[in-house]
Amino acid sequence: MRKIKIGQIGIGHNHGSEKMRAVRKFPELFEVVGYAEENEKWVEKRGDTPAYNGIPRLSVDEIIEHSDAVLIESDVWDLTKYAKMCIDAGKHIHMDKPASGTLEEYKALLDSAKAQGLVVQLAYMYRYNPAVKKCFELIKDGKLGEIYSINAEMSTYHPPEYKRWLTNFGGGIMYILGSHLVDLAVYILGNPDRVTSFLKHTGLDGIDFEDNNLAVMEYKKAIARIFVSSVEVNGFGRRQLVVSGSLGSVNICPLERPITMTYSDTSIADATYEDRKIIIPFEDNTADGRYDEMMQDFYAYIIGEKENPFTYEHDYAVQEVLSEIIGGVRFNGKNID
């Protein structure tokens, strides 16, 4: 089995160390060459994280030179910059999310990667949530019929320190957490015809940013509603994905810790005013292995054993819709003044 030489650029992303920990679980797949971090504050804060024990710290150029593939785990605002450096050098990338920079810069990155046949894997974790994967399977198999509604929520009651960090981003918590849900909605329903957003500032803890947000994605027959908040008590416990179609519905709530999924179809829910459903049990992959399958797939994509179902076009569409959500309203691809 061919080993892939892999390095990591940046340790500032919140999930960076867990990605490295996952890679190191599979020494038969990956040979870790080192990590690079240009911000000394991150080295002081996270350099001694166990995931990096025994791994040399190299320069960005050295990581790119010595790697076949690179994990891009920098501060969010630098993700696209470092990813482009790797793509320009002909390296496969796993890129944390959401993408930074302008839409034009991101599209140029994806177009270049596609032209070179390079893997670009975005780190949207719910793609690997077992209940979400089951939901995708039910949709693909036609078990839910025509999808006409998605309701997705991903909220938290964040401490002041995290909320201050969120002021770095246009769209606040919608940009950071809402992107996960946009990824799922676009994968299921495609690009919306119209996007309307409601980005509210509660000012809780004296911190002014978009912390209480709703986006509505409209399609010819379907509606997707995305709600994210930094001020919802027990928001984590209410994180959910509800997908409803003409033949059945899926409700995943909470999305994790514990994963709880129910399923109903027209044969089960044969009474209009009764709660008829079955519970589909899952082992939760968040305790010790949320990124294991993701990293195994990254390897499989690189060696050509699997094809990434989340295409370059899909990844761009997610960023485009997210940009529209945090920028206001779009109708048929045009901004409304």
The span from the CA of 36 to the CA of 58, in Å, is 5
What are φ and ψ of residue 142, in 5° steps?
80, 10
- pLDDT at residue number 272: 82
> What is the Cα–Cα distance from 118 to 257, expressed in whole angstroms?
34
pLDDT of residue 285: 78
Using one digit for the tens of pLDDT, what is the confidence trace for 19-63?
999 999 999 999 999 999 999 999 999 989 999 999 999 999 999
- Reported as a pLDDT band with limits 50, 70 and 90, residue 289 is confident
**Is the pLDDT assigned to residue 330 strictly greater than 80?**
no
| pLDDT for 300 | 98
In this predicted structure, what is the pLDDT of residue 113? 98
Neighbours of 307 (CB within 10 A): 9
Domains with residue ranges and CATH for the chain: 4-123 (3.40.50.720), 126-289+320-335 (3.30.360.10)
Please state, in angstroms and rounded to a whole number, the distance separating the CA atoms of residues 287 and 285. 6
Residue 227 confidence class, pLDDT cut points 50, 70, 90: very high
Q: Is the dihedral of CA 279, 284, 286, 287 positive or negative?
A: positive
Dist CA 9 CA 38 (whole Å): 9
More confident residue, 285 or 83: 83
For 138, residues 6+ apart whose C-beta sits below 8 A from its C-beta are 144, 248, 250, 263
Quick check: 337 pLDDT over 80? no
H/E stretch holding 238 reads none
Whole-prediction pTM value? 0.94
Q: Which distant-in-sequence residues (6+ apart) come within 8 Å of 315 by Cβ?
A: 99, 110, 120, 122
Mean pLDDT, all residues of the chain: 94
